[in-house]
């Protein structure tokens, strides 16, 4: 029970991932925590999240409600601010860094802002632990497939975040620093599926960049499961990666449109986008193993390699979203499985929060 009696800090905890992660932690499925601290800079999102717990009336949410009254703490602050980070992290046992600027075009236009959040933010976490000897047991940094062979600012800054986190193990031997890297989270805030939903509800057209473009797809709960796996089994300096499905943008659009008389408009690739994402590069495949249902990239730094680790390569080539792409019928099944077809009154992230 990895959370029993622990204080957990979630930076960016009001985002799509953070909301589901906090909800699941508070159920006690991995042990009842001592406290969950949500650090973010948006007071409105914190208020909405707080109210979402206070307004629960159904019996299945009684455990969450009781835990909320005693455990959940909201803090206004920013990972860009070293004092804010120190204040929030000083009593934490586990830190989940989910704070990020993640929209690719926005990062292209405001690269300095992406650096401040995605790089300086995580550097502040490492610095706080190092300079103040805070007894943090584990830090998990949430990364993205765009960090692998990055071609855009968002991916570049997340790639640097990974390096900052992995190298932090060298000077902080009492803290375990691990990365988690995954692809597009279905219906997360700012992703393509909510955009398609809005366009369909307004009569179209549905705009896609390039029909053959592919993306890895996983649910918010699968993202949380990946973090859980890293917490339970990860070793210092490792990067955990889910074996996620992928689909073409065109099939996703067609699946959501169903039989509606709505046109699809091709707009062309956006600034900084790739045709296909890569979860594990060809170079990383040389030190990538399989552990349970996950790929694990072993650290490149020799000081962090375990001599008794059986480094049997799990991949012979890069792990790309162009590999094993779901056909149309299986894309439909995947979207239906996660209640993402048009007609649902509650967005995915909120429906999972209320479930």
Positions marked catalytic: 146
- Quote the DSSP letter at residue 147: G
How far apart, in whole angstroms, are the C-alpha atoms of residue 12 and residue 131? 23
Those residues whose C-beta lies under 8 Å from the C-beta of residue 46, and which sit 6 or more positions away, are: 14, 38, 40, 74, 76
Could you say which DSSP state residue 258 is in? T
Contact 5, 339 (CB under 8 A): no
Phi, psi of 9 (to 5 degrees): -105, 130
What span, in angstroms and rounded, lies between the C-alpha atoms of 252 and 283?
30
Nearest CA among 156, 245, 184 for reference residue 16: 184
CA-CA distances (angstroms) from residue 255 to 90, 186, 188, 196, 252? 47, 14, 18, 10, 5
CA-based angle 323:325:328, to the nearest 5?
170
**Encoding tokens for residue 321?**
């979203």
Q: Which helix (H) or strand (E) holds 168?
A: helix 153-171
Chain position carrying tokens 């694990």: 296
Rounded to whole angstroms, the Cα distance separating 72 from 22 reads: 9
Q: What are phi and psi of 123, to 5 degrees?
A: -65, -35
CA distance 132 to 127: 8
């Amino acid at each position: 029970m990895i959370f029993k009696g622990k204080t957990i800090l979630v930076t960016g905890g009001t985002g799509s991932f953070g909301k589901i992660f906090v909800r699941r932690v508070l159920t006690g499925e991995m042990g009842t925590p001592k406290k969950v601290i949500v650090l973010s800079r948006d007071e409105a999102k914190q208020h909405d999240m707080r109210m979402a717990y206070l307004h629960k009336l159904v019996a299945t949410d009684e455990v969450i409600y009781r835990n909320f009254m005693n455990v959940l703490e909201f803090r206004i602050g920013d990972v860009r601010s070293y004092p804010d980070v120190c204040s929030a992290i000083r009593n934490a046992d586990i830190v989940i860094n989910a704070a990020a600027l993640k929209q690719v075009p926005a990062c292209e236009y405001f690269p300095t802002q992406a650096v401040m959040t995605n790089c300086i933010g995580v550097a502040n976490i490492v610095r706080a632990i190092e300079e103040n000897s805070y007894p943090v047991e584990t830090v998990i940094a949430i990364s993205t497939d765009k960090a692998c062979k990055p071609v855009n600012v968002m991916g570049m800054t997340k790639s640097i975040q990974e390096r900052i986190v992995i190298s932090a193990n060298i000077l902080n031997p009492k803290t375990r620093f691990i990365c988690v890297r995954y692809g597009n989270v279905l219906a997360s805030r700012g992703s393509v599926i909510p955009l398609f939903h809005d366009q369909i509800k307004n009569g179209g057209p549905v705009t896609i960049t390039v029909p053959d473009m592919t993306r890895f797809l996983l649910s918010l709960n699968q993202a949380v499961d990946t973090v859980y796996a890293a917490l339970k089994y990860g070793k210092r300096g490792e990067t955990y990666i889910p074996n996620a499905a992928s689909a073409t943008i065109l099939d996703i659009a067609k699946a959501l449109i169903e039989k509606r008389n709505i046109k699809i408009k091709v707009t062309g690739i956006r600034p900084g986008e790739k045709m296909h994402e890569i979860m594990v590069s060809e170079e990383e495949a040389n030190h990538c193993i399989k552990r349970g249902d996950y790929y694990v990239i072993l650290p490149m730094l020799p000081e962090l390699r375990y001599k008794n680790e059986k480094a049997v390569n799990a991949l012979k080539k890069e792990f790309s979203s162009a590999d094993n792409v779901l056909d149309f019928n299986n894309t439909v099944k995947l979207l239906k499985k996660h209640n993402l077809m048009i007609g649902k009154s509650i967005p995915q992230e909120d429906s999972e929060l209320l479930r």
